[in-house]
Structure 1
Amino acid sequence: MKHPIFSLFFVLVATVSAINAIPYGLSKRTTQFGVCGTISPLPPLLDVSISPDPIVSGTPVTFSINGTAPVDILSANAGILFFNDEAKYYKTFHDDFCKLSNACPVKSGTKFEFKYTVDPTDLPDSYTIDVGILNLDIKLFMCATTTV
C-alpha cells in the first residue's frame, strides 16, 4: 500500500461518521421530581412519574402518584400546579384525594397510589410542576416538584 496514512485517515473518518450516525435513544432524559425546597420542615416526597414524558401542551398527561402517608389522612386534596414566574402563567388541577386513591382514611405509614389525568394547554417553554397532597387547612402533607 502506497499511502498508509491516507488509509488510516479514511478508516478514522468512517468510524467517527458511523458513531455520530447512531441515534441517542438510550440517553432520553425523563422528568425527575424532587423535594419541595421552600417549606420548612421539608414535607415527605411523593413518587411521581408522568406519561407521556415529556408533556405535550394540549395533550392529556397522566400523573402516577404514590407515597407513604406521614400522618393519618382523613380528607385531603391532590393538586397539580403548573407555573412560570416570567410569564405569571399558572394552571391548577385538583381533586379529592380520597376519591382518587379509593383509600380514605389512610393510616400513617400506609402506602397509597393513584393516577390523575389532566389536560394542560398553552404551556410556556419553561415551567415548574408542583404535585401535592394537602388538607383543607392548606397544610401540605406531601409534595414533589420539577422544572421543565
Structure 2
Amino acid sequence: MKGQRVVCPHCGEQAQLVDGSLIYPFRPDLHARHFYLCAPCNAWVGCHSGTTKPLGVLADAETRQARIQAHDVFDPIWKTGRLTRTEAYAWLAAELRIDREQCHISMFGTELCRQAVRVCERYWAQQKVTTRSGRSTFLTRHVPPQAPRRSLGSMFA
C-alpha cells in the first residue's frame, strides 16, 4: 500500500498508511478503508473512499472527542435543512473568522472544535420556531438527547 506523506501534528512523525482492521478491529465494514496512523500518538485520520487521500488532519483521542462534539452540534444545522452543508460550513468559517477552505471539522484541532461548539450552541439558542399551536419559541435543544458516543482511543492505549 503506497500513500501520501502525512505528518502527525502531535509529534511530527510520519504516519503510516494502514487498513481499517487496525483502527477498528470490531468493525468489519471498515476493514477495507484506508487510514493514516501515528502509532506513538495513537492519532489517525481516515481517507476518502477508495483513495489514500486523508479526510483531514490526524487526531489523537482528545481531538477525536472534540470533533465528535463539534459534529454533534454542527451537523444538525445542515441535516435539518436549515442550511445546505456548503452554506453551513461557509457560515461557520465566517463565525470562526477562518478561511472557508480551512473550515472543516476534520481539519480542526481541539481548541477550534471547542470554539465551533460554542458558535453552534449560540446559533441554536437563537433559532426561533413556531409551534403547532402558533406560538413562537426559541429552540434550546438542537436534537433529541442521544446515548454518548464511546471513544475508541482506549483500545490502543
TM bucket (normalised to shorter chain) is under 0.3
Structure of higher CA gyration radius: 1
TM-score, normalised by the number of residues in structure 1: 0.26
Q: Which has the higher strand share?
A: 1
Q: Which has the higher helix share?
A: 2
Greater RCO structure (CA 8 Å; 6+ sep): 1
